[in-house]
Amino acid sequence: MRNLLLLFTLVIFSYSSKAQRIALSKTANVDLPKKMVSAQVKDAKSLITQRFSKTKSLSNLVATNLDKTYFVDNMVVMIKSASIPSEPGFLKTYQLAADETGLTINGYSSKIEKIDGKDVFVIDHISEGIKLYRFTTINSTEDQIVTGFVQHQAGDEIKARKLLEEVIKGLKFNKK
């Protein structure tokens, strides 16, 4: 009886500590980090007025994508995905276009890097006074894309960067 109770407890614990898998669309899904929770309507409205009230574009983006918005440790994460026409060299082309306008933005830097075997275009910048890591990654056939951002407070850059890497590591593109 004791062994059965122990086994039952371990099974329950293993399921509760498992990452939450979210289907982003037909193109991809992501295993979210354990502490990350989906935005609730009342939380998101509060967030928009408290954190994004001075940012027209970010407040509109969050308001229209509540189902793609998540919270963890005072950070906001948005993750979106879509199918696109296949374009070889997409990330490099996207980086060149973003850098052309981004270099005038406060604190802007960008690079394409490998995270967990995936090519990821990462932009670090301040948008309308808000610190962001924006990311874009694409599957190997370059026809499925995942984009998003991690919004964080000044001083939380290391935590935000780690969270970004955890999200990318949990990302799985679906086979067509």
| pLDDT value for 23 | 72
Higher pLDDT, 126 or 90: 90
For 41-78, the pLDDT digits (tens) are: 566 566 666 665 556 666 667 767 778 888 888 788 88
Please give the Cα distance from 112 to 49 (Å, whole number): 33
Q: Which residue has the tokens 């509060």?
A: 46
Centroid of chain to Cα 133: 9
| pLDDT value for 153 | 84
Q: What are phi and psi of 72, to 5 degrees?
A: -160, 125
Higher pLDDT, 130 or 159: 159
DSSP codes joined into one string, the chain:
-HHHHHHHHHHHHHHHTSPEEEE-SSSEEEEE-TT-EEPPHHHHHHHHHHTSTT-HHHHHHHHH-GGGEEEETTEEEEEEEEE----TTHHHHHHHHHHHHHTTSTT-EEEEEEETTEEEEEEEEEETTEEEEEEEEE-TTS-EEEEEEEEE-TT-HHHHHHHHHHHHHHEEEPP-
pTM: predicted TM-score of the whole model, two decimal places: 0.79
| pLDDT value for 61 | 72
| pLDDT value for 6 | 32
For 20-173, CATH number out of 2.60.40, 3.40.1000, 1.10.3050, 2.20.110 equals 3.40.1000
For 101-152, the pLDDT digits (tens) are: 887 887 899 999 999 999 999 999 887 778 889 999 999 999 999 999 998 8
| pLDDT value for 44 | 59
The token duo for 80 is: 């979106």
Instruction: Map out the domains of the chain as residue ranges.
Output: 20-173
| pLDDT value for 136 | 96
What mean pLDDT do residues 67-92 have?
88
